[in-house]
A and B are shown apart, each in its own frame.
Chain A
């Protein structure tokens, strides 16, 4: 009589059980996600533009003119020209989006739990867009024809 082999589980041990997103996504290619690419590219482009814009801003506002001479009238005169308005609007937009992009990256680097990420990113976008909107509103709707404030 043959020797009885004891009953054994039929299934073989599988590959490591814990799977991260990489194995899942690696299995089936998704359409290329261009957001990260463009945000990376935008980072570089906005950086270069900001260099020009921010430096011009610095030279005009702090070297040629001086903080003491900058008052309501100065701003009114400046914003009478659509050129400067566009300049400031662009500066505002670039600085905010560039900064937001940076903070977003930091969040991705340091915040790993899904919930906290969503939360942090949401706060970032809400705050960022809020500032963008009021900034833009001031620049666009500013009326240079109002009388100047009485001098103190």
Chain B
């Protein structure tokens, strides 16, 4: 089926909804999403969204910007960080006006709390900057934005799976998507297309990400010829529930929770004397990794540490951390009132993604050439404001700040430009892909997608996680190559057309395999340690060679063709050693 819209937004998480809200009324806009909007993974965000409101203590956007740049280990583009820190304040107020039920101070203002890596006066000590709604901040943002979408009568195409990005005459002219309910392919012809499809944490075995976080948008752009930026920068959150990876927000430590090893020692103190347990995520993850490696892990296999909130008292736990303590109770049968919760680092957030400028426009080379009509925002995009390591609460800000900017720029673009024609066969690549996947049902192909996915996740978890080295990365490259060959023989047992979720899982696995490879390749070539990317064989940061963004281009066969490097935009803050 054919549709024509001024703007097509793919993804209805925080970023997608925010972008769509800028366009309603000004243009004819459709939002395509493979989940109902309220099911997007933004709803899982717990801890908070930060802005230098200064509601509880002195704070300035410059401090916020500094923390963002330093947190990103200076791989952050400083023009983007400035936009983020400045715009954040207004955006939070806007969210409040939209109805977001923030927790309040005694004076009725938005309450703020501490969060990892956020400091006062350029690193002097922790500051209260994260605005929050209990530990359901993401849920409230998602609900509020979806509610605004309903109010403004945004057209949603729910349960439509993005298949392809259509480019013609050097302009992005739309997308194709599969209607999951009917199995029918739809073509959306548009002036502008905004991708906001979220992350790809499902590459790893232990992850805080949803099953739906499979990097579909990232891979779709990549397949259409757009490079991917800084994919090796993948964040592991220090506190995921042992074995299953469900997140226990940094808010637990922000409110005073502490990490202890098997000797009961508060080990973060040893590594980061100033910020202690509230050091940035990449560091705390490495501290945990180090403790486990040196035999101070807890449990029969000594492979986890404990997060204690029991000393905070029942009242604080119940009012400020209700959901996450509930997770410990439900999934591990552990009672956080009295005992430590077993945790381990969990694959959490992609700093990298589709490269964009500060207006959300997608760029396709190291010179910053724009692909007209194509925008990206949210976790799928790499502005790059998180650099080599995202600070907690900065992602939700990213969604609303850059989601909005992308939407507003798209609105301008729509006004100034006409429709570009579709190519003659806009659906060809999608149909080829579908035919390949569906072909598995008859052709006797026998490989199981589930087994391939499991092997990939295990391989990524052991070889491409918190600490990396060349040997492991090469092993991973080889394994991924093998898995991709096996993937071409993957079979399908469900050959129905309506609501065929097996088919979707195969499509998602295809995305994940490519994402895993780009991540590993980037990590292999970045011969330094920076932020979330820590190499045992190159333990120091190398600003001479690698103060640059990796751009990965795809070959027609689907592997990484070449890596290029794009210099980082510097500014106010000179790269310095990162200590907390």
Contacts and interface: CB of A to CB of B under 8 A. Distances in A.
Contact of B30 (A5, A8, A9, A12): A12
Nearest to A6: B424
B2 A3 contact: no
B424 A8 contact: no
A12 B421 contact: no
B1 A3 contact: no
B182 to A, nearest CB: 12
Contacts of A15: 155-156
Contact of A5 (B28, B156, B422): B422
A3 B424 contact: yes
Contacts of A12: 3-5, 28, 30, 155
Interface in A63-89: none
A12 B5 CA distance: 8
Which of A2, A5, A15: most chain B Cβ within 10 A?
A5
A9 B2 CA distance: 7
Contacts of B5: 12
**Interface SS of chain A:** loop
A80 B445 CA distance: 95
B295 interface: no
Given A12-B28, A12-B30, A5 B4 contact: no
Contacts of A3: 421, 423-424
A138 to B, nearest CB: 58
Contacts of A8: 2, 4, 189
Interface in B1-46: 1-5, 28, 30
A107 to B, nearest CB: 33
Nearest to B28: A12
Nearest to B188: A12
A10 B422 CA distance: 14
A146 interface: no
A10 B155 CA distance: 16
A16 to B, nearest CB: 10
A9 B1 CA distance: 10
A10 B4 contact: yes
Interface in A5-27: 5, 8-10, 12-15
Interface of B: 1-5, 28, 30, 155-157, 189, 421-424
Interface of A: 2-3, 5, 8-10, 12-15
19 contacts: A2-B421, A3-B421, A3-B423, A3-B424, A5-B421, A5-B422, A5-B424, A8-B2, A8-B189, A12-B3, A12-B4, A12-B28, A12-B30, A12-B155, A13-B1, A13-B3, A13-B157, A14-B155, A15-B155
* Nearest 3 Cβ contacts at the A-B interface: A8-B2, A5-B421, A12-B3
